């Protein structure tokens, strides 16, 4: 991307979108196209088409989505499938109509089957049943991958779908019920420390394993992918199965390549926060997928790996939570 290229970051106030904006600005990109949800509702096809027609971005990072943790996905399934199908379809089509050079669509590791072999490789897509707690969201994301693939095949677009593992970092959603596990635990352990509570209750059995990537690393991977030279970038864009006989969607996993149990994670967050009491488990809450470890060899082969250690990422995330709490 030229430093003066027009770059649209959809969802720029979210966890990932805000990190992408930080990364681009630090690298000297100044022509960023940004719209809040209130300024442009991406579920509105007419408004999204008009925005692309007027602005003609060169590059698109598609980081706008309806996002939430296991309970939010399970509680609002209609919103998770509807909003995500609409947002991604509107942007992907408008990007084609307005000749966007490259588009990076963000999916999620939950697109892979609930019991996929571990670590999960890109070719494990569509090889088995999905985890029921997030199937509506996962199916929307799978439709997004298929849409990128179909547009590449039929129209010659250059759309790539990046599948991040579970993310955390500054600007996360710390809602007690609707958030993901790391921001939820930061909040729970902090509140217990401040109130002097003796126990923090963690959802589920503590046995599921998850892989966590720091949001600024995720942003760095996204900008790295968008800036790949043509030959490397195009090698990731998938092939036409009817011609090659191979199942090669335009897909790349983004993760760290190792995981921890939720019980281990809870211990680490309690140490980060400085909570010294007990940890209990509420087994009436869902565990979700038993394990979701990404195979990141494709990403490593093209030259990117995650730099941030979880202990330092968690410290920064906790400082971010404290800043937000002080401002509130």
Ligand X SMILES: C[C@H]1O[C@H](OP(=O)(O)OP(=O)(O)OC[C@H]2O[C@@H](n3cnc4c(=O)[nH]c(N)nc43)[C@H](O)[C@@H]2O)[C@@H](O)[C@@H](O)C1=O
Ligand Y SMILES: NC(=O)C1=CN([C@@H]2O[C@H](COP(=O)(O)OP(=O)(O)OC[C@H]3O[C@@H](n4cnc5c(N)ncnc54)[C@H](OP(=O)(O)O)[C@@H]3O)[C@@H](O)[C@H]2O)C=CC1
Q: Among 67, 160, 185, 237, which residue interacts with ligand Y (rule: CB under 6 A)?
A: 67
Q: Quick check: 143 and 234 in contact, CB under 8 A? A: no
Q: Which of 13, 82, 124, 298 binds ligand Y (CB under 6 A)?
A: 13
H helix runs in the chain, sequence order = 15-26, 45-55, 70-75, 77-97, 135-155, 181-195, 215-226, 230-235, 241-244, 262-273, 297-301, 310-327
Question: In angstroms, rounded to a whole number, what is the distance separating the alpha carbons of residues 151 and 161?
Answer: 12
Within 240-269, the residues that bind ligand X by CB under 6 A are: 262
Q: Are 151 and 99 in contact (CB under 8 A)?
A: no
The answer to the question of residue 37 lying near ligand Y (CB under 6 A) is yes
Closest CA to 325 of 172, 196, 132: 172
42 carries a ligand binding annotation: no
User: Is residue 60 near ligand Y by the rule CB under 6 A?
Assistant: no
Among 6, 180, 190, 209, the residue binding ligand X under the rule CB under 6 A is 180
Q: How far is the CB of 269 from ligand X (least distance, A)?
A: 10
Beta bridge mates, 161: 105, 251
Q: How far is the CB of 134 from ligand X (least distance, A)?
A: 3
Provide the minimum distance between the beta carbon of 246 and ligand Y in the complex, in angstroms, as a whole number. Answer: 26
Chain centre to alpha carbon of residue 123: 19
**Contact, 119 vs 257, CB < 8 A?**
yes
Give the binding-site size for ligand X (rule: CB under 6 A).
24
210 known member of a binding site: yes
CB of 208 to ligand X, least distance (A): 4
Q: Which residue of 108, 133, 253, 308 would you call a contact of ligand Y, by CB under 6 A?
A: 108
Secondary structure of 92-158 in HEC code, one letter for each residue? HHHHHHCCCCEEEEECCHHHCCCCCCCCECHHHCCCCCCCHHHHHHHHHHHHHHHHHHHHHHHHCCC
Is residue 171 near ligand X by the rule CB under 6 A? no
Check residue 15 for interaction with ligand Y (CB under 6 A): yes
Binding region for ligand Y (CB under 6 A): 11, 13-17, 37, 41-43, 63-67, 83, 87, 106, 108, 164, 166-167, 173, 180
- Which residues line the annotated binding site for substrate? 188, 203, 210, 287
> Which active-site residues does the annotation give?
137
Binding region for ligand X (CB under 6 A): 68-70, 73, 108, 110, 134, 137, 166, 179-181, 184-185, 202-204, 208, 210, 262, 285-288
């Amino acid at each position: 991307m030229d430093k003066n290229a027009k770059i649209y970051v959809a969802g720029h106030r979210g966890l990932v979108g805000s990190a992408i904006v930080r990364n681009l600005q630090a690298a000297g990109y100044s022509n960023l196209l940004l719209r809040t949800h209130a300024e442009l509702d991406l579920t509105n096809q007419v408004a999204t088409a008009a925005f692309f027609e007027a602005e003609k971005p060169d590059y698109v990072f598609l980081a706008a989505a309806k996002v939430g943790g296991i309970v939010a996905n399970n509680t609002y399934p209609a919103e998770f499938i509807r909003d995500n199908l609409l947002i991604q379809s509107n942007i992907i089509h408008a990007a084609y109509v307005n000749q966007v050079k490259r588009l990076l669509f963000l999916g999620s590791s939950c697109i892979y089957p609930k019991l996929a072999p571990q670590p999960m490789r890109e070719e494990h897509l569509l090889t088995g049943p999905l985890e029921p707690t997030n199937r509506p969201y996962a199916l929307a994301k799978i439709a997004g991958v298929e849409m990128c693939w179909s547009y590449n095949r039929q129209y010659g677009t250059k759309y790539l779908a990046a599948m991040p593992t579970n993310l955390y970092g500054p600007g996360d959603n710390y809602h007690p019920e609707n958030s993901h596990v790391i921001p939820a635990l930061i909040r729970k352990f902090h509140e217990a420390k401040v109130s002097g509570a003796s126990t923090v209750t963690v959802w589920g059995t503590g046995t599921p394993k998850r892989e966590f990537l720091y949001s600024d690393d995720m942003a760095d991977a996204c900008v790295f992918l968008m800036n790949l030279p043509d030959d490397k970038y195009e090698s990731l864009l998938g092939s036409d199965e009817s011609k090659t006989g191979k199942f090669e969607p335009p897909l790349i996993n983004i993760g760290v390549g190792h995981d921890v149990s939720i019980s281990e994670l809870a211990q680490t967050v309690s140490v980060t926060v400085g909570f010294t009491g007990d940890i209990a488990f509420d087994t009436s809450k869902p565990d979700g997928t038993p394990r979701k470890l990404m195979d990141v060899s494709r990403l490593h082969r093209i030259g990117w790996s995650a730099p941030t250690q979880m202990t330092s990422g968690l410290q920064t995330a906790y400082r971010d939570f404290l800043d937000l709490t002080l401002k509130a």
